[in-house]
Amino acid sequence: MRIPFNRAVHFPRAEELVIQALRSGGMSGNREFGRRCIAHLQEHAGALEPFLVPSCTAALEMGALLARLEPGDEVILPSYTFSSTANAVLLRGAKPVFCEVEPSTLNIDTTRVAELITPRTRMILPIDYAGIPCDMDPMLALAEQHGLAVMQDAAQSYGSTYKGRAVGSYAPLVAFSFHETKNNSCGEGGALCVNDPALTERSHLLQEKGTDRRRVLLGLQNKYSWVDVGSSFLLADMLAAVLIVQLEENAEIMRRRGLVTEAYERLYRPYHERGALRIADVPDYAVRNNHAFWVVFTEEEHRARYLHAMRERSVSPYIGYLPLHSSSMGERYGYRPEDLPLTESIGSRVVRLPLYAELDGDLDYLSEAMSAVLREMFGA
Ligand X SMILES: Cc1ncc(COP(=O)(O)O)c(C=O)c1O
Contact set with ligand X (CB under 6 A): 55-57, 81-82, 84-85, 127, 153, 155-156, 177, 179, 190
- Between 61 and 248, CB nearer to ligand X: 61
Between strands 173-177 and 49-53, the pairing is unpaired
**Minimum gap (Å) between residue 217 Cβ and ligand X:** 26
CA-CA distances (angstroms) from residue 186 to 50, 134, 247, 354?
16, 25, 10, 20
CA dihedral 117, 123, 124, 126 (to 10 degrees): -150
Residue 92 backbone phi and psi in degrees, to 5: -95, 5
Please, which residue, 5 or 224, has the CB nearer to ligand X?
5
Whole-angstrom distance, CA of residue 380 vs CA of residue 378 = 7
CB nearer to ligand X: pick between 85 and 161: 85
Residue 45 three-state SS = coil
Minimal CA–CA distance to 151: which of 183, 190, 185? 190
**Shortest distance in whole angstroms from residue 55 CB to ligand X:** 3
The CA angle 211-215-218, to the nearest 5 degrees, is 145
Whole-Å CA distances, 357 to 8, 77, 191, 245: 8, 30, 22, 15
User: Shortest distance, CB of residue 59 to ligand X, whole angstroms?
Assistant: 8
Report in angstroms how near the CB of residue 293 gets to ligand X at its nearest: 15
Q: Rank residues 191 and 194 by Cβ distance to ligand X and give the closer one.
A: 191
Tell the smallest beta-carbon distance from residue 202 to ligand X (Å). Answer: 22
Rank residues 227 and 329 by Cβ distance to ligand X and give the closer one. Answer: 329
